[in-house]
A and B are shown apart, each in its own frame.
Chain A
Amino acid sequence: MAVPLFLSVLLIAACGLIYELVASALASYLLGDSVTQFSTVIGTYLFAMGVGSWLSRFLSRGLVARFVSIELMVGLVGGFSSTILFLAFAYTGAFRLVLYVLVVILGVFVGLEIPLLMRILKDRYAFKDVVSNVLTFDYLGALAASLAFPILLVPRLGLVRSALLFGLVNAGVALWSVWLFRAHLGARRVLAGASVAVLLLLSAGMAGATKITNLAEDNIYSDEVIFSRTTRYQRIVLTAWKDDLRLWLNAHLQFSSRDEYRYHEALVHPGLSARPSARRVLVLGGGDGLAVRELLKHPGVETITLVDLDPEMTRIFSTHPTLVALNHGSLSSPKVHVVNDDAFVWLDKHPDMFDFVVVDFPDPNNYGVGKLYTTVFYRLLARHLSRDGLVVVQATSPLFARKSFWCIAETMHQAGLTTYPYHLYVPSFGEWGFVLASLDGGYTPPTTLPAQLRYLTVAEVPRMFEFSADMQPVAVEANRLNTQVLVRYYEQEWDRVNR
């Protein structure tokens, strides 16, 4: 009986360490700042183990049955720990709370295991042998787990399956213990039944693990998450892989630091460089400050009003060092005035006029955002445009979403604007399009551009207005508040691409 008993010490020690590692790794993966996450998770876990050890004194009778129950609890909670954490991250704003509550519960149960086991064994073997053997196997198990975790488990199984696998080990130890102590256990049928139930539950979890990770957006962010926050309006996630920084809003890619210069230079300069006299500029959306960075390259611009719905977004892009480095601190420029309001509502209640307007909203993938691409919106926008003013609108991809792109152009046209659609290639997005528009018809590509642009040249600008055969205009309806055809076009087209 001795070897199997001490072997189970090794196994439960390994399980205990794995859950700790899973929780720490998941926290650093999802929240970033791995030093903090590992330190706090391990600290909390060890403290909770201490609480568990202390609590063990209150257990005096039916020790084997209790040990089996605790194993089953550890297996269940630990096995599903990464599942719970992923889902908590994806669907709630309380990830940290769930994390530490889980770590405390697990720690308490794991802390109970060894003291109980030692008491169970103390009457069978000499105390010095019990202490020596239990601790030896405990540390051996820890070594095995800490080596297997980075080398085998994470790369081969992933975090969700690894935790489930070790949950199965815990439940296996429980079932095994029922068998080992069968002669002394009263309720062995109940305990064996419970063990089998937990084993089945965890196996079901294993079978559905892929679905769980998909649910939890695990696949979306293939890179390390360095920042994430759920605000009142959206989920902001920043990921990094080597020198590539990516911003995701509600799991939609907003930019990649490797090629965002292409997007933002193309968004701003073809229009603004053609209007050297422009003084007052309005940016709608674009809380990342990257369009503003480009606008500030025009010394003639005196004021920039940036209207972005989400105060958290503009705050992060004004303060986070990596992001401030990316937008050159544009949001802190004295020329920039940040307003956190709904763009439509703000335009409706303010009379201010502008010489150049940048409209950089998320793609029209729901009826709410769809309102910002309607005839009514563009007519309202036109009323804020000075006579010689220009407006530029990000208009999704003319290649992947051809109808959507031309629908936006048609909508602006129906709102009384003269439109000049153009496009460029952004590696992380693919072909991307913008619609430039003026009030009275009058746009010629600029003959000069700000110095030190990385993508645009004077020769390149006119070429952007040429569309190849597969991106030519198609017959579409204008997008109106009472029809919202654009949302339907957009859904159909991107569904086809993403299938």
Chain B
Amino acid sequence: MSPDENKDSSSSPPSRRTFLLASGAAVVAAGAAIVSRFTNAPALLGLDRKSGPRISGGWVNESAALGHRLRDGASMPTPRRIVRVPAVAVGGGIAGLSAAWQLERHGFRDYVLLEMERDAGGNARGGENAVSRYPWAAHYVPVPGPRATLVRELFRELGVLTDTGWDERTLCFAPQERLFVHGEWQSGLDAELLGSHTGRDELHRFDDLIAEQRRSGEFTIPMALGARAGSALDRMSFAHWLDAAGLRSPAMRWYAEYGTRDDYGASTRDTSAWAGVHYHAAREPTEQGPLTWPEGNTWIARRLAARVGTRLITGTPVHRILSNGRKGWRVRAGDAEYLCDDVIFAAPTFLTPYIVEGMRAPGFVYSPWLVANLTLDRWPEERGVPPAWDNVLRSGVGLGYVVATHQALRAREDGPTVWTYYCALTTRDPATERRVLQTSTWSDWVERIMMELAVAHPNIRRCVTHVDIVRLGHAMVRPTVAFLGADARRDPQWAPRGIHLAHSDLSGLSLFEEAQYRGVVAADAVLASQHRR
């Protein structure tokens, strides 16, 4: 052997030393490129591209600018025409649509329903793309209990409830819920609690306490049938109530926290014990699961809007409601002024001081939310039980995602889908959260959502093709401590004569049933008032 050849290889020139490695790497890289183009193999081979393909999308349904102009008293168009109509409903969300539904049911058609957005529905709006319809916020209605008679009447009318029972295509398909905890998906949101002795014990005690509260009759849907302003539970926070009950394990507190974040967009500290208990006690523990549609409650909103017909006027923001003395009210919207006797105010109640002459702010607190619809070209990788309708990550800042294609009839489950990701912004006070939300960028949020979901779905970035996001500064009212005793709720004279408040925020619970109830009650008041004339 020549001395030359015996030298350690580290002394040879880099170009030659690396030649073999380089050619091997070239073969692998070329292979990888071909593989990742045509198959699903890269995941196994570890040939994933570090960054996924570009995700398209942006902010949608932005309407904060208009609201801020109202708030800041910006000049609005002067009316060019006058319309005389006995009643005007302001706000085409579920409350306004339900008011109209009630008026129509009584054959009363001398009204208009004014909605500022292009589509009616409010929180029950939705969208559609090539893959699926999807909701923009409210996405289900629990199977109504015996006292929710109006909901039952509506569902009978819509064919969801028949003599043989609930339409099985509308009842949420199994499996309904799963929780990503301890590194895998497990069935049911109580999976973590059921996994430990302490957890099971605390859940038992919690269920017992809730059952006891349920028997009190105080917790009903609609809430107006049972709620009492003097309730002791209204005077403490839900967190305090849990402390007092000795329910302190992290799993239990997460479970309770999830409930208030999900229904009220607030932490247990910012929610009254009455509302925290209401979430669990107002409904019977039922096996049936909620009623849901791929597009969420838009399904209902569309049908209600169809009944209103041409009396629904969209894209028309009401910017001022002025008193017309004994003759009623002047409602200014767009270039028209509506002269009417009665106004159903079904827009959020916090808007009254900016719009209605002589009205004060109700002093309600509203939770800011963010909702994103993610389009996926295939189901991402995961571990554990199969996909459910509602998929919650224990580690998530958000509330998890709901699968729009879950109610599809198709047997194949791994195809393209749309996920609706919900995030209630509960960390800081709502005003701060709203400010941060207004200044944050779409791409920041996409990044945050991807990071959050990647915990359960490692290759999520390569599956998501499009993300649309809405930011809802005042998504829902917050049932804070002492909410039941608030003036705006308690005092029937709080609103001036002829103004009939109808928004669900009066209930403190942003629920379909409450919106419908308030709308119908306001419509009844209008019918009575019109009858007297």
A187 near B10 (CB under 8 angstroms)? yes
B172 CB–A CB distance under 8 Å: yes
Contact, CB under 8 Å: A376 / B168:
yes
Q: List residues of chain B with CB within 8 A of the CB of A92.
A: 35, 39-41, 44-45
- Asked whether, in the complex, the Cβ of A371 is within 8 Å of the Cβ of B173, the reply is yes
| Alpha-carbon distance between A59 and B34 when the two chains are bound, in angstroms | 30
**A88 is an interface residue with CB less than 8 A from chain B:** yes
Q: Does B53 make an interface contact (CB < 8 A)?
A: no
A87 surroundings in chain B (CB, below 8 A): 44
**Chain B residue with Cβ nearest A101:** B31
Q: What CA separation (Å) do A389 and B60 show in the bound complex? A: 51
From B4, B289, B411, name the one whose CB has the most chain A CB atoms within 10 angstroms: B411
Closest partner residue, chain B, to A48 (CB atom): B27
Q: Say which one of B18-26, B195-203, B302-310, B365-373 lies at the interface with A.
A: B18-26
Q: Is the CB of B5 within 8 A of A342?
A: no
Contact stretch, chosen from A61-69, A265-273, A294-302: A61-69
Q: Is the Cβ of A187 less than 8 Å from the Cβ of B409? A: no
Q: How far is the CA of A60 from the CA of B5 in the complex (A)?
A: 7
Is the pair B7, A61 in contact by a Cβ cutoff of 8 Å? Answer: yes
Contact in complex: B39, A93 (CB < 8 Å): yes
In the complex, what distance in Å separates the CA atom of A91 from the CA atom of B41? 7
Q: How far is the CB of B298 from chain A (nearest CB, A)?
A: 21
Q: Is B532 an interface residue (CB 8 A)?
A: no
A128 within 8 Å of B (CB atoms)? no
| CA–CA, A274 and B242, complex, Å | 67
Contacts A59-B16, A367-B386: A372 and B23 contacting too (C-beta < 8 A)? no
A233–B11 CA distance with the chains assembled, in angstroms:
55
Contact with B along A465-499 (1 / 0, CB 8 A): 00000000000000011111001000000000000
Which residues of the other chain, B, contact A344 by a CB distance below 8 angstroms?
A: 409-411
Tell me how far the C-beta of A32 lies from the nearest C-beta in chain B, rounded to whole angstroms: 20
Contacts of A63 in B (CB 8 A): 1, 5
Of A62, A104, A371, which contacts B11 at CB under 8 A? A62
Q: Are B411's CB and A343's CB within 8 A?
A: yes
- Please report which residues of chain A, range 336-395, place their CB below 8 angstroms from some CB of chain B when the two chains form the complex: 342-345, 348, 366-369, 371-372, 374-376
Contacts of B5 in A (CB 8 A): 60-64, 119-120
B391 to chain A, nearest CB (A): 14
User: Is the pair B411, A371 in contact by a Cβ cutoff of 8 Å?
Assistant: yes
Question: For residue B27, which residues in chain A have a CB less than 8 angstroms away from its CB?
Answer: 101, 104-105
Main secondary structure of the interface of B (DSSP, over half): loop
B288 adjacent to chain A (CB < 8 Å)? yes
Sort chain B's interface into a size bin.
35 or more
**Does B175 lie at the interface of the complex (its beta carbon under 8 Å from any beta carbon of A)?**
yes
Is B44 a contact of A480 with CB atoms below 8 Å?
A: no
Q: How far is the CB of A225 from chain B (nearest CB, A)?
A: 19
Cross-chain contact A65 with B38 (CB below 8 angstroms): no
Question: Are B175 and A480 touching (Cβ within 8 A)?
Answer: no
A393–chain B nearest beta-carbon distance, Å = 15
For B174, the closest partner residue in chain A by CB is A484
Which B residues between 430 and 484 are near A, CB-CB below 8 angstroms?
none
Question: What distance in Å separates the Cβ of A58 from its nearest Cβ neighbour in chain B?
Answer: 5
The smallest beta-carbon distance between B311 and chain A, in angstroms, is 34
Q: What residues on B are CB-neighbors of A91 within 8 Å? A: 41, 44
A258: CB under 8 A from chain B? no
Q: Please, how many angstroms separate the alpha-carbon atoms of A60 and B16 in the complex?
A: 9
Which residues from chain B contact A187 at a C-beta distance below 8 Å? 8-10
Q: With a CB–CB cut-off of 8 A, which chain B residues contact A372?
A: 411
Q: Is the CB of A55 within 8 A of B41?
A: no
Smallest beta-carbon distance B309→chain A, Å: 29
Check if B6 is an interface residue, CB within 8 A of chain A.
yes
- Residue B169 is within 8 A (CB to CB) of chain A in the complex: yes
Judge whether B412 and A482 touch: CB under 8 Å.
Answer: no
Partner of A61, one of B11, B175, B288: B11
Query: Given A345-B409, A367-B386, A481-B173, A98–B1 Cβ distance below 8 Å?
Result: no
B287 within 8 A of A: yes
**B76 touches A (CB below 8 Å):** no
B392 partner residues in chain A, CB cutoff 8 A: none
Asked if A123 meets B409 with Cβ closer than 8 Å, knowing A61-B11, A481-B168, the reply is: no
Instruction: State whether A98 touches B41 (Cβ < 8 A).
Output: yes
Partner of B172 from the list A233, A367, A482 (CB cut-off 8 Å) is: A482
B positions within 8 Å CB-CB of A: 1-2, 4-12, 16, 19-20, 23-24, 27-28, 31, 34-35, 38-41, 44-45, 168-169, 171-176, 287-289, 386, 408-413
Some 28 contacts from A to B, beta carbons below 8 A apart, are: A59-B20, A60-B4, A60-B5, A61-B7, A62-B7, A62-B11, A65-B9, A66-B9, A88-B45, A91-B44, A93-B41, A94-B35, A123-B1, A184-B1, A186-B6, A186-B8, A187-B8, A309-B411, A342-B410, A342-B411, A344-B409, A345-B410, A367-B386, A480-B171, A481-B169, A481-B173, A482-B168, A483-B287
Which 10 residue pairs are nearest across A and B when measured between Cβ atoms?
Answer: A186-B8, A62-B9, A92-B41, A484-B174, A94-B41, A344-B409, A482-B171, A368-B413, A342-B410, A93-B39
